[in-house]
Amino acid sequence: MEKDKEKNKDEVNEINQSENLEDINEENINEKNTEAKEEKEEFREEDAEETEEEKLKNEIKTLKEEKIRLLAEMENLRKRFDREKIDSIKFGSINFARDILSPGDNLERALSAINKEEDHPESIKNLIEGLLMVKKELSSALEKNGITKIDTLNKKFDPNLHQAMMEIENNELDEGVVVQEIQTGYMMYDRLLRPAMVGVSKKTKQESESARDQDSKSDKKNIEKDPENLEKN
């Protein structure tokens, strides 16, 4: 009987020990699980903090780019406003300047019509001197406002500055050279105020035909000298 009791006690102790071990294992597992959960939550919090920092950095970057863009646009607007202001000051009187050129042209025609070799009476001489003084004052007033004459005679015809009114035959000059000025042209600073009306040189028909013949003869000579170039072409 005593032996049986001892066996039963041993069995009970073994059962209790196994139960205690199971409890300990469960506690360890629960502790590990809680630690893992806490670590995951910490990682999540860190990831959230990092994402918020990245968002803030991106927002700061976009704000800086927008600020730089706005500053550049404001600078361009300021420069454009300054240019327009300068142009309005320089060319604000361009219509008035065009209108003032016609009386100047009439004054030039009146002076050119006077025969300088003729002996005029004193009154006419005084009138001519007065007209010359008016012309001089008008020229100085135009120059003060940036208005200058276009130099045309013996210059190559420029469609940006000249307006061809006629062709004049002249074999001594190349074609397209201004040989006559009908009306003076003017510039206002770097802008065309009025084109110059001019007569342009051209070759006579005989001269142009002879020039064509010479060109054709020279081409034939070149072909005879080097016929290989003709075959290549």
Distance of alpha carbon 213 from alpha carbon 3, whole angstroms: 150
Last residue of a domain, one of 108, 126, 145: 145
Residue 141 and residue 73 share a domain: no
Residue 86 and residue 9 share a domain: yes
Residue 64 and residue 49 share a domain: yes
Residue 20 and residue 56 share a domain: yes
Q: Is residue 153 part of a domain?
A: no
pLDDT at position 185: 93
Residue 139 and residue 125 share a domain: yes
pLDDT at position 74: 92
pLDDT at position 119: 82
Residue 97 and residue 85 share a domain: no
Residue 67 and residue 121 share a domain: no
Residue 100 and residue 19 share a domain: no
Pick from 114, 201, 100, 191: which is nearest to 155 by CA? 201
- Our count of domains for the chain comes to 2
Residue 114 and residue 37 share a domain: no
Residue 85 and residue 57 share a domain: yes
Q: Is residue 121 part of a domain?
A: yes
pLDDT at position 233: 45
Residue 117 and residue 39 share a domain: no
Residue 69 and residue 82 share a domain: yes
pLDDT at position 187: 93
Q: Is residue 43 part of a domain?
A: yes
Q: Name the stretches of the chain with pLDDT < 50.
A: 2-3, 5, 12, 21, 230-233
- What is the extent of the structural domain holding 3? 1-91
Q: Is residue 47 part of a domain?
A: yes
